[in-house]
């Protein structure tokens, strides 16, 4: 196999979960060129997946909206000329993109709207990284669920400049879905407790989360540093310079795990059993009878109280950090 295209035009965390597949391809076929199709801003992160050298940005909600965008990407895929295309995504739009590429071997998920466009349909299972393993096995490759990112050295250097000295601890208060966020007052109290313990909290988030991070920093008090709004590449570099990371079930927090950083993840509406864990990870959940209630989170709590995260105390999270030897 000399060239493979991989499609995962979803969220940041979904691209992290693709790393077991690209690692398996790179290990089995060292000379294989992998083109990875990702949605901005996750295209930055895709450049850190093992074995990926070509990244095709598919801005399906912006400049690539509609059939014109599908045709543009299909043309790029034809130009790349892979022997096989592997898709994590099974939407009608992604399936049509795969079909329009004309690639003769197309592998994708079974039981989804776009499945009809794939030649080989794979049951992906419940675990998010396990989906990558299932797709690797469709290529007759051995794989495991470990997450992995490989940062370019210049990204690490830039991250060290932005993070500064002293080994800060990354706090990621945001998420694409509101119900996966630790309430502002809880995140701020946690950041303040870190400061009292002599640990500098550094807040990371997307440009859309600047106001959220600014409010957490204001409530936490002097010494809580807000570096939100950076590009994904810079945020990854900052993470690589941190002593640890804390946040909800979101892309940057999964990226921290893939970088090998001690990480405490806070689970409310989503299920920690959907993930693969390593030594150096801790998961915190209150185990309420109403949670988990969602695969990916939602805009509001179905019961209107959001107790799964609003009742989670900073002391509980500090205790998990202590067990990891971080605080």
Could you report the per-residue pLDDT of 143-200, keeping only the tens digit for each?
999 999 999 999 999 999 999 877 999 999 999 999 999 999 999 999 999 999 999 9
User: Which residues are paired to 107 by β-bridges?
Assistant: 86, 120
Q: Hey, where are the domains in the chain?
A: 3-138, 160-323
- Over residues 13-43, the pLDDT tens digits come to 999 999 999 999 999 999 999 999 999 999 9
Phi, psi dihedral angles at 15 (to 5 degrees):
-70, -40
- Equal CATH topology for 3-138 and 160-323: yes
- What pLDDT is recorded for position 296? 87
The helix-helix angle for 184-196 and 314-323 (nearest 10°) equals 50
- Over residues 115-125, the pLDDT tens digits come to 999 999 999 98
What is the C-alpha to C-alpha distance for residues 24 and 142, in angstroms, rounded to an integer? Answer: 7
- What pLDDT is recorded for position 295? 86
- Over residues 53-103, the pLDDT tens digits come to 999 999 999 999 999 999 999 999 999 999 999 999 999 999 999 999 999
User: ω before 292 within 30° of 0 (cis)?
Assistant: yes
What residue ranges in the chain does DSSP mark as E strands? 3-8, 33-38, 52-57, 84-87, 106-109, 120-122, 169-172, 201-203, 225-226, 244-248, 263-267, 281-285
- Domain 160-323 is of which CATH architecture? 3-Layer(aba) Sandwich (3.40)
- What pLDDT is recorded for position 287? 94
- What pLDDT is recorded for position 165? 76
Top-tier CATH class for 3-138: alpha beta
- Over residues 241-253, the pLDDT tens digits come to 999 999 999 999 9
Percentage of the chain lying above the pLDDT 70 cut:
100
pTM of the predicted structure, to 2 decimals = 0.96
């Amino acid at each position: 196999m000399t060239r493979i295209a991989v499609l995962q035009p979803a969220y940041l965390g979904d691209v992290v979960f693709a790393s077991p597949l690209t690692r398996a391809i790179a290990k089995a076929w060292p000379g294989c060129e992998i083109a990875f199709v990702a949605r901005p801003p996750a295209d930055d992160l895709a450049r850190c997946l093992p074995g990926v050298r070509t990244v095709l940005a598919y801005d399906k909600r912006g400049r690539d909206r509609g059939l014109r965008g599908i045709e543009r990407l299909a043309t790029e895929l034809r130009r790349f000329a892979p022997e096989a295309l592997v898709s994590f995504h099974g939407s009608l739009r992604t399936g049509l993109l795969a079909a329009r590429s004309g690639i003769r071997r197309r592998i994708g998920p079974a039981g989804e709207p776009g499945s009809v466009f794939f030649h080989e349909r794979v049951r992906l299972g419940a675990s998010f990284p396990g989906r990558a393993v299932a797709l690797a096995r469709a290529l007759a490759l051995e794989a495991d669920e470990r997450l992995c990112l490989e940062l370019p050295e210049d990204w690490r250097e830039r991250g060290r400049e932005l993070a500064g000295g002293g080994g800060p601890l990354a706090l990621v208060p945001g998420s694409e879905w509101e119900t996966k966020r630790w309430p502002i007052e809880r995140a701020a109290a946690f950041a303040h407790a870190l400061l009292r313990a002599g640990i500098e909290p550094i807040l990371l988030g997307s440009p859309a989360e600047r106001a959220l991070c600014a409010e957490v920093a204001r409530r936490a008090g002097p010494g809580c540093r807000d570096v939100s709004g950076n590009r994904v590449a810079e945020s990854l570099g900052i993470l690589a310079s941190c002593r640890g990371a804390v946040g909800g079930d979101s892309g940057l927090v999964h990226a921290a795990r893939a970088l090998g950083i001690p990480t405490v993840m806070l689970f409310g509406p989503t299920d920690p059993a959907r993930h693969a864990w390593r030594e150096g990870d801790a998961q915190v959940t209150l185990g309420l009878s109403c949670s988990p209630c969602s695969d990916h989170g939602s805009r509001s709590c179905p019961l209107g109280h959001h107790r799964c995260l609003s009742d989670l105390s900073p002391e509980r999270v500090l205790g998990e950090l202590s067990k990891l030897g971080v605080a």
